[in-house]
Structure 1
Amino acid sequence: MPRRRPKKLDQLLGSQRLQQFADFTEQHQRWQQLLRDCFKEQPLEQLLPHCEVIAVRAPSLILQVSSAAIAQRLKTEQGRIITYFQTHATPTVTSLEIRIRPSRHLSTEKAPAAPPKVEVKESDTVRKLREQAELCDEPLRSQLLALADKYSSP
């Protein structure tokens, strides 16, 4: 089997595939800008880092989101998003398709640290239970005293 010769740089740069890719990239950037403008106009700006336009294939706008919660929020605002894209995008948009794909960088982030536990001395708790019991009527009084007796130190 004969080996093909490598293409020259001007052949690659002038190829139709490269031009199609460049056109798609430019169109994708326009769609992303439209999405940014739409979200700024709507009360959805905080969701923007979690959303991306995958494509606009008439009649659908296809978005990728990082979680089901964000997808649900966008579904509630679907009418406004479609209306915005109908007036500003070249292909006619009549439906919104949302694909959920969790991003890897979100899952690798550290979870927020748990708040430090406040140590309460047992004797303080028992003392407070007894004080509260003195202020209460029966049967709550006897229940609080029984609870204080249960947790008092021997």
Structure 2
Amino acid sequence: MARNRPRTTKQLIAGQQLQRFADFTDQHRRWQQLLQSCFQKLQLSPLLEHCEVLNIRANHLILQVSSGAIAQRIKSYQARIITHFQPEATVELERLEIRIRPAHKPATPKPAKVSPAPATETLEKELDAVGRLRQQAALCDEPLRSQLLALAQKYEDS
């Protein structure tokens, strides 16, 4: 099987895929600016940081928002937003589609509230556990007795 040679940087830059990506990026930037002007006109500017234009496809303006509450608020202005986007869209917009994707916030770990126990206290607890295991072993029948004694021995050895 013949291998394709790696493309040079000039070939990548001259390629159609890169040009299509650059065109889409420019178009996306214009859509985002249009959304900003629309929200300012509708006095929804505080929602702009939670909303982004994803695409205009198949007669749908597709927005991404960070919560359901924001989606409902924007949905109530659907007709006005479509009217505002209509002159810039290449197709006749019929519907506003809203996708909810919550912003990922890294969880802040809560500090563990573990107080370091002194080594002697830990040793006393282990010896107490070993003593209780031996006491229980004395009260049990053979298969369980040998298992409890083996467990007690394991604690003593460690």
Give the TM-score category using the shorter length.
0.5 to 0.7
Distance 1:83 1:109 in 2: 42
Question: Aligned partner of 1:38: which letter?
Answer: C
Distance 1:39 1:52 in 2: 11
Q: Deviations over 1:29-64 (max 9, x none)?
A: 010011001001002100000000000114110000
Structure 1 gap ranges (5+): 111-154
What TM-score comes out, normalization by structure 2 length?
A: 0.64
Distance 1:98 1:20 in 2: 25
Question: Of the two, which has the highest radius of gyration?
Answer: 2
Aligned-pair CA distance for 1:102: 0.3
Percent identity over the alignment is 57
Q: For the Cα contact (< 8 Å) 1:86–1:94, is it kept in 2?
A: no
Distance 2:22 2:108 in 1: 33
> What's the counterpart of residue 45 of structure 1?
45
CA gap 1:109/1:59 in 2 versus in 1, 3 angstroms:
farther
> Is the aligned partner of 1:65 residue 2:65?
yes
Q: For the Cα contact (< 8 Å) 1:86–1:93, is it kept in 2?
A: yes
Structure 2 gap ranges (5+): 110-158
Q: For the Cα contact (< 8 Å) 1:60–1:94, is it kept in 2?
A: yes
What TM-score comes out, normalization by structure 1 length?
A: 0.65
Aligned-pair CA distance for 1:109: 7.6
Instruction: Report the RMSD for the aligned CA atoms in angstroms.
Output: 1.8
Aligned-pair CA distance for 1:9: 1.0
> What's the counterpart of residue 54 of structure 1?
54
**6-15 or 90-99, which moves further after superposition?**
90-99
Q: Deviations over 1:73-116 (max 9, x none)?
A: 011111111111113433321210000000113x6489xxxxxx
Distance 2:24 2:58 in 1: 15
